[in-house]
Amino acid sequence: MDPLGARSQFVDIQTLPTWQLAEGSKETPLEQSDSHAFPSPFPFRPDINCKILLFTGDVALLNCTSVVNTSNESLNDKNPVSESIHQLAGPELRDELLKLKGCRTGEAKLTKGFNLAARFIIHTVGPKYKTKYRTAAESSLYSCYRNILQLVMEQSMASVGFCVVATTKRGYPPEDATHMALRTVRRFLENHGNSIEAIVFAVSHTEELVYKKLLPLYFPRSEEEEKACIPLIPADIGNSEGEPVIPERQIRITEKPGTLEDDSEEESLEVDLGQVGTHAFARMEGDVDKQRKQILQGQMSEAAMQKQHQRNYNRWLCRARAEDLSDIAALKALYQTGVDMCGRTVMVLVGRNIPVTLIDLEKALLYFIHVMDHITVKEYVMVYFHTLTGEHNHLHSDFLKNLYDIVDAKFKKNLKAFYFVHPTFRSKVSTWFFTTFSVSGMKEKVRYIDNLQQLFTCIRPEQIDIPPFVLEYDARVSSNTDTSAQRYIISHTQMDT
């Protein structure tokens, strides 16, 4: 206990600034991007932001209802956070932990705060990270944050101080861990956070840099910051609770297994016959040793090749989610806009914005996968503006072939049209050769568009964001005097002014 009249070492969270822009400030920490027609999955919510606090210092000093301690399964880990909590809480805490008989990875257990300013301590065990078992680590880390927040809600706690649960000692990549922490907290506050008044993230100086970089993605402080962050939000944002979604583990269970919704006997018979040979047992491919021999001899079955391709794509997707691709995103060469006349998502590719000779093409490939993975789960179209591109903007056919070979089957299956706007004779010839001899199934999807008037017969003007230089070029070369394209240019110019 502090001597009478001495200044307390504990920090009153009421004195900490909330995660909001300073009054009168118009600056955002990220470069603003063009407006997008689709909403952010994490919209600007001042009512949520006022509950978020970032504190650079020791979590044990926070005067919250509860603070979080990260430990091992025996609850005797010696890390800076745990040692500080034990030192300030006193020896009674160690005796209390012995009664708990450990804690499993992903679980959360509650003790008193003893000599801390916090009334309670929530103990949790973060996962050990190995690339091979990344999915398991993600699920465990999500469980840590979710179970902590569940305890906070069940015990009617007004505030909680989070330490960084996934410590570097356990090998978890800092940015990946921060994404998981922020999105889980954000979703919990959206769905169950009415009774929670404050959530404090207590970080070190090095961790502060990561948190300040990623907080705007999940807690944008203005509508401008929300729009600027859309291209930087990871493709994998989990489900409505922030929990990682693992497609291969999703099992569809009917209301009454073994029964059909339709009572028609004829239809039942047709369905039953149609299912013959499609179940898992019937799809078995025979002798496993024979398959392995074929793989070693380079004679892989089609099913084995598909599995290998899927594993390869998943590796690329994991890399795309983990790497910092903000420099590629800043080029504004690929973005989502509205929908076409058939209601399909429209993706825009701007050739002039691709400085092929200056950028890392592997990062460009990763960014394409990162942006497109969740788009391609349903039907979509692409609009490629070839307008005013130079030699330094042309992607080599080997790169395009590599991209086509890497991407998942859904990219090819759900692409319904590729609109090639303002093509040149040379580009038409190159595209013909590429789609005829290098890739299969693409030739029929390519449609050459000479002017925006033709494009607007497929996509309404208000459903696509067109770069200003494309509008100017089209107006210059178009001989029509009252086209939809020109009306779009006029209205677009008036909006800008």
Out of 208, 232, 256, pick the residue that ends a domain: 232
The verdict on residue 80 lying in a domain is yes
**Do 76 and 210 share a domain, yes or no?**
yes
The verdict on residue 301 lying in a domain is no
DSSP state string for 209-226: HHHHHHHHHHS-SSHHHH
The verdict on residue 224 lying in a domain is yes
Report, as an integer, the average pLDDT of 241-263. 57
pLDDT band, residue 262 (cuts 50/70/90): very low
**Do 228 and 333 share a domain, yes or no?**
no
Q: Which among 150, 157, 236, 238 has a CA at the least distance from the CA of 197?
A: 157
- Count of domains observed in the chain: 2
Please report, for the domain that includes residue 221, its CATH number: 3.40.220.10
Residue 493 to residue 392: CA distance in whole angstroms: 29
Out of 232, 247, 276, pick the residue that ends a domain: 232
Residue 468 to residue 452: CA distance in whole angstroms: 13
Q: Check residue 165 and give its pLDDT.
A: 96
Report, as an integer, the average pLDDT of 395-404. 84
Q: Cβ(352)–Cβ(469) under 8 Å?
A: yes
What percentage of the chain exceeds 90 in pLDDT?
Answer: 52
Handedness of CA 9, 10, 14, 19 (dihedral sign): positive
The whole-chain average pLDDT of the chain stands at: 83
The verdict on residue 350 lying in a domain is yes
The verdict on residue 255 lying in a domain is no
DSSP 336: E
390-413 in b/e form (b: 16+ CB < 10 A) is: eeebeeeeeeeeebbebbbebbee
Residue 165 to residue 199: CA distance in whole angstroms: 14
Q: Check residue 300 and give its pLDDT.
A: 59
Residue 270 to residue 274: CA distance in whole angstroms: 6
Q: Check residue 33 and give its pLDDT.
A: 44
The verdict on residue 258 lying in a domain is no
The verdict on residue 284 lying in a domain is no
Q: Which among 369, 434, 355, 432 has a CA at the least distance from the CA of 403?
A: 369
Q: Check residue 447 and give its pLDDT.
A: 94
Cα of first residue to Cα of last residue in the chain, in angstroms, is 64
Q: Check residue 28 and give its pLDDT.
A: 46
Structural domain of 205: 13-20+27-232
Please report, for the domain that includes residue 346, its CATH number: 3.40.525.10
The verdict on residue 423 lying in a domain is yes
pLDDT tens by residue, 454-493: 999 999 999 999 999 999 999 988 765 445 555 555 555 4
- Between strands 334-339 and 345-350, the pairing is antiparallel
**Do 210 and 350 share a domain, yes or no?**
no
Residue 311 to residue 224: CA distance in whole angstroms: 38
Out of 173, 197, 232, pick the residue that ends a domain: 232
Q: Check residue 405 and give its pLDDT.
A: 87
Report, as an integer, the average pLDDT of 43-67. 96
Q: Which among 134, 139, 58, 131 has a CA at the least distance from the CA of 106?
A: 139
pLDDT band, residue 282 (cuts 50/70/90): very low
pLDDT band, residue 289 (cuts 50/70/90): low
Q: Cβ(144)–Cβ(126) under 8 Å?
A: yes
Q: How far is CA 415 from CA 261, 383, 444, 492, in A?
A: 33, 11, 11, 29
Residue 384 to residue 44: CA distance in whole angstroms: 31
DSSP 11: B
Q: Which among 193, 188, 189, 184 has a CA at the least distance from the CA of 166?
A: 184
